[in-house]
Amino acid sequence: MSLPNLIVPGKTIGIIGGGQLGRMLALAAKQMGYRVGVLDPEKNCPTAQIADWHIVAKYDNQEALMDLAMKSDVLTYEFENVDADRVDRLKKTVSVPQGSELLSITQDRLLEKAYLEMNNINSSPYATIISLEDIKESVSSIGFPCILKTIRGTDDDKGQRVLYDEEDIAGCAELLQFGTCVLEAWIPFERELSIVIVRDEAGKIATFPVAESIHRQNKLHETIVPARVPIEVTEEVERISKSIADQLNLVGTLGIDMFLTPSGALYVNKLAPRPHSSGNYSLEACSISQFGAHIRAICGWPLPEVNLLSPAVTVSVFGEHMRGSEMQIQLKPDWHFHYYGKEEPVNGSQMGHITILTENIEKTLTNINDTGIWG
**How far separated are the first and last CA of the chain, in Å rounded?**
54
Under the banding of pLDDT at 50, 70 and 90, the label for residue 2 is: low
Asked if 215 and 175 sit in the same domain, the reply is: no
Specify the number of domains making up the chain. 3
Domain-embedded: residue 180: yes
Under the banding of pLDDT at 50, 70 and 90, the label for residue 154 is: low
The answer to whether residues 297 and 303 touch, using CB atoms and an 8 Å cutoff, is yes
Asked if 35 and 144 sit in the same domain, the reply is: no
Select from 4, 8, 26 the least CA-distant residue to 17: 26
Asked if 210 and 343 sit in the same domain, the reply is: yes
Asked if 181 and 196 sit in the same domain, the reply is: no
The answer to whether residues 208 and 195 touch, using CB atoms and an 8 Å cutoff, is yes
| C-alpha torsion angle, residues 150, 151, 157, 163 (rounded to 10) | 50
* Pairing between β-strand 53-56 and β-strand 74-77 as defined by DSSP bridges: unpaired
pTM, full prediction = 0.95
Question: Distance between CA 152 and CA 271 in Å, rounded?
Answer: 13
Select from 81, 64, 80 the least CA-distant residue to 14: 64
pLDDT at 353: 98
Please count the CA atoms within 13 angstroms of the CA of 334 that sit on its side-chain side. 10
Domain-embedded: residue 106: no
CB burial string 203-213: b at 16+ within 10 A, e below: eebbbbbbbbb
The answer to whether residues 3 and 300 touch, using CB atoms and an 8 Å cutoff, is yes
pLDDT, tens only, 296-331:
999 999 999 999 999 999 999 999 999 999 999 999
pLDDT at 1: 47
Asked if 200 and 284 sit in the same domain, the reply is: yes
For the chain, helix (H) and strand (E) counts, in that order, are 12, 17
Q: Which domain holds residue 292?
A: 191-370
Asked if 223 and 362 sit in the same domain, the reply is: yes
Give me the percent of the chain exceeding a pLDDT of 70: 97
Asked if 91 and 209 sit in the same domain, the reply is: no
Of all helices (H) and strands (E), which one includes residue 89?
helix 84-90
Average pLDDT, the chain: 95
DSSP 231-280: HHHHHHHHHHHHHHHHHTT--EEEEEEEEE-TTS-EEEEEEESS--GGGT
